[in-house]
């Protein structure tokens, strides 16, 4: 069979010997292609009922009875990255190569993301996966860095809390630091008080595994300062304001922000962006014990502001405030934080669309544009100044849990905003960190939503 198709408007790559070609069609392109095929091929495709609908697949046999070509359906609304993403689950183990119908680099990324499996605890033999060959002009280094970043974040989020305690998260970050020659320091337990991180200590002190601040620095000290901060609540019981069982079930994912920024930091270092990178992860377990922090306690913070604890289950913003204050005192050019912070953001935007808060319109537009271009979308919500009065405390300067059920994502962002003075530009991403259902390339489980968008925005700004 031919390996090119004019109606696809793309030049077909060379197909490696022995690899089965994959051709991606919409309905119109399929009709054009079939018109030029032998009658037996056209008859076979029609007999299977394949009409190039999105997600549909047809294996076309050759004269020897073996699969000669894979046909895959799409529509114009399906981005290139997801056009092959479902195939690793539907094809027999073999070597494949994209013939036409999608950008090879994007299709390869989607294929690899679709091949992800979290099988650390599975006792059965690990199943082999089909392999997609790459044309020579695909940037393998970039592809590998992206996939490794996404897989690292997914693995960390998916790991049960028993094996992903604050110390385990620090070990994972240390491995990334060692790989890229980054400076690395961990401040844990009582040392947090000695070094003025009292809010992190207060939230995590009740856990058997001590709270800690993970601190990684890499790159040219004279380069533009880019600082990433991620919420690392390795498990969230709700503290003394304990969650119900249903609300606690997925709380191993409450370190999804930390996992995302660690993956993002690895990608920045792997692709050697010309920045001075700093990564800060406050890592705690919000546990229940006699020394747990309590409702209406007033907690001191690194910045000097005091926080009145309206609810112990609003702990993420409390630990982030110390890390953000530390980050901001260096006056970075760009400060990004990622956190599984509020259910209110999920109510407003659903589980697949992270909320973006930003104090710089140009930065916000850059992140949104790159999110749209990479099909890694976000949606901007306002840092509405009229709601600042809602976070004012009574006994303390501010409260971590304003009264009333409304605007929770906004008031949480406004809380964080109090600690970022000094940063030239700041963006806060309130993310789910989890795929609640499986979609092509995005299996159910831990997910680094917005990671690819953030990297693209950073690269575009500084590379």
Q: What is the 3-state secondary structure (H, E, C) of the chain?
A: CCCCCHHHCCCCCCCCCCCEEEEEECHHHHHHHHHCCCHHHHHHHHHHCCCCCCCCEEEEECCCCCEEEEEEECCCCCCHHHCCCCHHHCCCCCEEEEEECCCHHHHHHHHHHHCCCCCCCCCCCCCCCCEEECCCCCCHHHHHHHHHHHHHHHHHHHCCHHHCCHHHHHHHHHHHHHHHCCEEEEEECCHHHHCCCHHHHHHHCCCCCCCEEEEEEEECCCCCEEEEEECEEEEECCCCCCCCHHHHCCHHHHHHHHHHHHHHHHHHHHCCCCCEEEEEEEEEEECCCCCCCCCCCEEECCCCCEEECCCCCCCHHHHHHHHHHHHHCCCCCEEEEEECCCHHHHHHHCCCCCEEEECCHHHHHHHHHHHHHCCCCCEECCCCHHHHHHHECCCCCEECCCCCCCCHHHHHHHHHHCCCCCCCCEEEEECCCEECCCECCECCEECCCCHHHHHHHHHHHHC
**Half-sphere exposure of residue 124, counting CA atoms within 13 Å on the CB side?**
5
**Candidates 117, 142, 195, 243; catalytic one:** 243
The closest of 138, 48, 15 to 2, measured between CA atoms, is 15
**Which residue among 165, 205, 253, 317 is the active-site one?**
317
Q: Would residue 66 show up in a list of annotated catalytic residues for this protein?
A: no
What tokens were used for 129? 């996966």
Tokens representing residue 152 in the block: 């690292």
Residue 64 · residue 86 · CB < 8 Å: no
Token digits for 175?
């491995």
Question: Is 389 marked active-site?
Answer: no
What Cα–Cα distance (Å) separates residue 53 from each residue in 2, 76, 273? 22, 11, 40
What the block records as the tokens of 410 is 């906004």
Measure the CA–CA gap between 209 and 285, rounded to whole angstroms: 8
Catalytic site positions: 243, 317
């Amino acid at each position: 069979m031919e390996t090119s198709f004019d109606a696809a408007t793309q030049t077909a790559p060379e197909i490696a010997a022995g690899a089965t070609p994959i051709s991606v069609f919409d309905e119109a392109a399929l009709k054009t292609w079939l018109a030029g095929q032998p009658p037996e091929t056209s008859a076979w495709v029609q007999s299977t009922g394949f009409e190039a609908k999105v997600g549909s697949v047809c294996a076309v046999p050759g004269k020897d009875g073996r699969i000669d070509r894979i046909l895959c359906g799409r529509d114009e609304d399906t981005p290139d990255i997801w056009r092959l993403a479902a195939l690793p689950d539907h094809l027999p183990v073999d070597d494949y190569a994209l013939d036409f119908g999608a950008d090879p680099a994007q299709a390869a990324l989607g294929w690899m993301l679709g091949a992800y499996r979290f099988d650390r605890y599975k006792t059965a033999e690990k199943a082999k996966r089909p392999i997609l060959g790459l044309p020579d002009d695909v940037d393998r280094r970039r592809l590998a860095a992206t996939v490794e970043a996404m897989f690292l974040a997914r693995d960390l989020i998916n790991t049960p809390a028993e094996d992903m305690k604050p110390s385990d998260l620090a070990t994972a970050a240390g491995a990334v630091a060692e790989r890229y020659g980054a400076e690395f320091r961990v401040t844990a337990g009582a040392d947090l008080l000695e070094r003025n991180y009292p809010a992190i200590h207060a939230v995590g002190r009740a856990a058997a595994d001590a709270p800690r601040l993970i601190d990684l620095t890499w790159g040219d000290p004279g380069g533009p300062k880019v600082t990433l901060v991620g919420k690392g609540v390795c498990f969230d019981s709700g503290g003394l304001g304990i969650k119900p069982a249903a609300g606690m079930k997925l709380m191993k994912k409450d370190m999804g922000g930390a996992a995302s920024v660690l993956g993002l930091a690895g990608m920045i270092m792997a692709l050697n962006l010309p920045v001075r990178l700093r990564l800060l992860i406050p890592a705690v377990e919000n546990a229940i014990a006699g020394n747990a922090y309590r409702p209406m306690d007033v907690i001191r913070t690194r910045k000097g502001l005091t926080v009145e604890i309206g609810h112990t289950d609003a702990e993420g913003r409390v630990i982030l405030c110390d890390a953000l204050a530390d980050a901001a005192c260096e006056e970075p050019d760009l400060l990004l934080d990622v956190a599984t912070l509020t259910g209110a953001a999920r109510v407003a935007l659903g589980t697949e669309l992270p909320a973006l808060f930003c104090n710089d319109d140009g930065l916000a537009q850059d992140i949104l544009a790159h999110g749209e271009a990479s099909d890694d979308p976000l949606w901007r919500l306002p840092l509405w100044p009229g709601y600042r009065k809602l976070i004012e405390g009574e006994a303390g300067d501010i409260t971590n849990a304003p009264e009333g059920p409304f605007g929770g994502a906004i008031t949480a962002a406004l809380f964080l905003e109090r600690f970022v003075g000094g940063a030239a530009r700041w963006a806060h991403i309130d993310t789910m960190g989890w795929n609640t259902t499986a979609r092509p390339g995005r299996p159910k489980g831990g997910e680094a939503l917005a990671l690819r968008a953030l990297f693209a925005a950073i690269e575009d700004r500084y590379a």
